[in-house]
């Protein structure tokens, strides 16, 4: 009997070692399952009374559970680049408790999609940030990390997989078109991802994020000078000797305004945190201009901003 038990133990040990060898993430998968189980217990438990809070005396003794509820759903998608050496490096980073960072999805350069967290769980990917009036991005968003060192172009296979994933997420959670944005958009003072090679225009053409219309050069608008006419002699004619000379000022050419509102107002309407305006401008240009990423708005940039903020109204 002892020999039989010892044999079973050896077989079980060998099986476990083989499983770990074939799947290096088996230990973290078990930890994930254990944590999910613990969270499930929290969800089904009746909330305890709030002792020690100012409103505690106002709480009724009886818990009354409503029948009308569901899980919270994401309303934003935040796209990142990993800025790490490889997809394996990123997966390891997101499975170490000490790093305190995670994401719902990681997409490799070969287009392979790693689903790391249930969409309805809160991942730790956004950090401190703001979009519009939302100051807790992690609680309302899905984070997608693209394997990229932060400087190179994103591979076609990677973008193809991303588009397919975004289509699924948009349909499943009814995420608004305007709510597909980048990490730099929500944290302009800290982040610059995804990098300036990211194809935001292509995403917008597929229905993920907004883009501006083609910007055409607008002709100068002529305006007439407001000359005053008096007596019977036109103000714009004067006699010099025997000749009458027309001195009517030529119509003045002026530029139409490039931006209807102040830049900080337009950026805020789009969603940017403008408490640091130069950083917000730089993040805007990283997303929508890309050829020149700095904190200066050129005439072209102003036209783009003018076109865009109206789309976000």
pLDDT in tens, 231-290: 344 445 445 455 555 555 555 555 668 999 999 999 999 999 999 999 999 999 999 999
Q: How many CB atoms lie within 10 A of CB 81?
A: 23
Work out the angle between the directed axes of helices 2-22 and 26-44 (0-180°, nearest 10).
90
Report percent pLDDT > 70 for the chain: 80
If DSSP codes are grouped into helix, strand and coil, which group holds residue 179? Answer: helix
**Strand ranges (DSSP E) for 162-264?**
180-182, 221-223, 237-240, 243-246, 252-254
Specify the 3-state DSSP secondary structure of 145. Answer: strand
- Helices (H) and strands (E) in the chain — how many of each? 9, 9
Note the pLDDT of residue 222: 46
The beta strand positions in 18-125, using DSSP E, are 76-81, 105-107, 113-115
Per-residue pLDDT at 45: 86
- Can you give the pLDDT at residue 162? 98
Q: How far is CA 74 from CA 52, 106, 183, 201, in A?
A: 32, 17, 16, 23
**Per-residue confidence (pLDDT) for residue 65, from 0 to 100:** 84
Q: What is the pLDDT of residue 83?
A: 97
Crossing angle of helices 263-270 and 299-312, in 10° steps, is 40
Cis peptide before 37 (omega within 30 of 0): no
Residue range 35-83, pLDDT digits in tens:
999 988 888 888 777 777 888 888 888 888 888 988 889 999 999 999 9
> What is the rounded CA–CA span in Å between residue 96 and residue 197?
30
- Coil vs helix vs strand at 173: helix
pTM: 0.81
Integer CA distances (angstroms), 143 to 90, 115, 129, 140, in order: 14, 11, 13, 10
For residue 49, the model assigns a pLDDT of: 72
Report in angstroms the alpha-carbon separations of 108 from 23, 84, 99, 202: 18, 12, 20, 19
Instruction: Give me the chain's average pLDDT, please.
Output: 86
Q: Comparing 16-20, 86-90, 213-217, which segment has the lowest mean pLDDT? A: 16-20
Q: Report which of 87, 301, 96 is spatially closest to residue 212, judged by C-alpha positions.
A: 301
- Between 14 and 46, the more confident residue is 46
Domains of the chain are 76-205 (3.40.80.10), 221-251 (no CATH), 263-312 (no CATH)
Give CA separation, 67 vs 63, 70, 132, 222, in Å.
Answer: 13, 9, 32, 67
| Contact yes or no for 310/264 (Cβ under 8 A) | no
What's the rounded mean pLDDT across residues 144-169? 98
Tell me the pLDDT band of 217, cut-offs 50, 70 and 90: low
pLDDT at residue 291 above 80? yes
Relative orientation angle of helices 277-288 and 263-270, to the nearest 10 degrees: 60
- 3-state DSSP call for residue 222? strand
> Residue 5's pLDDT is what?
52
d(CA 76, CA 158): 20
Q: Is the dihedral of CA 95, 97, 102, 104 positive or negative?
A: positive
Are 211 and 201 contacting, i.e. CB atoms less than 8 angstroms apart?
yes
CA distance 58 to 281: 48
- Residue 313 to residues 6, 269, 270, 310, Cα–Cα distance (Å): 71, 7, 8, 5
């Amino acid at each position: 009997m002892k020999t039989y038990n010892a044999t079973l133990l050896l077989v079980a040990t060998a099986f476990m070692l083989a499983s770990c060898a074939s799947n290096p993430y088996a230990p973290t998968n078990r930890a994930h399952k254990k944590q999910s189980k613990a969270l499930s217990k929290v969800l089904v438990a009746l909330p305890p009374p709030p002792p020690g809070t100012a409103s505690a005396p106002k709480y009724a003794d009886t818990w009354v559970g409503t029948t009308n509820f569901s899980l919270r759903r994401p309303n934003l998608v935040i796209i990142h680049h990993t800025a790490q050496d490889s997809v394996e490096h990123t997966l390891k980073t997101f499975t170490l408790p000490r790093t305190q960072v995670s994401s719902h999805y990681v997409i490799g350069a070969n287009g392979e999609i790693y689903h790391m967290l249930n969409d309805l769980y809160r991942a730790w990917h956004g950090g401190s940030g703001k979009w519009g009036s939302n100051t807790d991005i992690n609680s309302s968003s899905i984070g997608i990390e693209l394997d990229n060192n932060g400087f190179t172009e994103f591979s076609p296979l990677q973008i193809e997989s991303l588009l397919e994933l975004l289509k699924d997420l948009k349909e499943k959670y009814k995420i608004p078109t305007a709510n597909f944005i980048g990490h730099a958009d929500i944290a302009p003072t800290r982040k610059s991802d995804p990098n300036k090679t990211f194809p935001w225009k292509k995403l917008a053409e597929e229905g993920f994020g907004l883009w501006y219309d083609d910007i055409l050069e607008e002709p100068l608008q002529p305006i007439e000078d407001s000359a005053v006419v008096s007596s019977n002699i036109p103000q714009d004619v004067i006699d010099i000797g025997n000749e009458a000379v027309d001195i009517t000022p030529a119509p003045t050419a002026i530029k139409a305004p490039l931006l209807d509102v102040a830049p900080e107002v337009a950026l805020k309407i789009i969603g940017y945190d403008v408490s640091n305006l130069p950083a917000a401008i730089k993040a805007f240009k990283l997303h929508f201009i890309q050829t020149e990423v700095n904190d200066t708005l050129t005439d072209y940039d102003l036209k783009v901003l003018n076109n865009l903020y109206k789309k976000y109204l």
